[in-house]
Amino acid sequence: MIDRQTYLNLIQASQIARRPDFGRTLAADWLSAWPGDHEVAFLLAQIEASQGMNHPALDRLSAVVVADPEYVEVYDLMAKVLRKAGNPTRAVVTEACARALRGDPVEAANAPSWAFALTRAIEGLEKDEFQTAAVAAHRCLPLTRKFLSRC
């Protein structure tokens, strides 16, 4: 039996070797046994996106983000795939979410209102201001769930 790290190495090697078919097969095989492995799901979404399989990649990325809403790299890839799929408005919103999660400045012109609440929640947590963080999180969570359900 091949262990997880070997699978990850093989999937990444398949991308370097420009053999996405092999990587996709490996990742799908792993996910059939371990469907909750978000890192492998992310790698599979990368492969799908590189092959122009935008809708399967978006479905996979959306599922990962719902399960792990702080997986910032997912938002970055989702924004790229949304652009390729012809949805630049959603891509901008997704990028704003990634910036907020990283602690980067969020541009008012391009961000949804909940991105500012998310930024305040993260800042509150970092400063041990738990009440501020809780209020801001309660403001943004319903809106982010609504957004993610439409990706």
Average pLDDT, the chain: 87
Whether 6 maps to a domain, the answer reads yes
Whether 39 maps to a domain, the answer reads yes
d(CA 117, CA 134): 10
* Lowest-confidence segment of 29-38, 48-57, 68-77, 135-144 by average pLDDT: 135-144
User: Residue 57 belongs to what domain range?
Assistant: 1-68
pLDDT tops 80 at residue 39? yes
Question: Quick one: CA dihedral 150, 26, 70, 110, positive or negative?
Answer: negative
Q: How confident is the model at residue 6 (pLDDT cuts 50, 70, 90)?
A: very high
Domain count, the chain: 1
pLDDT tens figures, 109-139: 666 767 777 778 878 888 888 888 888 877 7
Task: List all residues 6 or more positions away from 17 whose beta carbon is below 8 Å from its beta carbon.
Answer: none
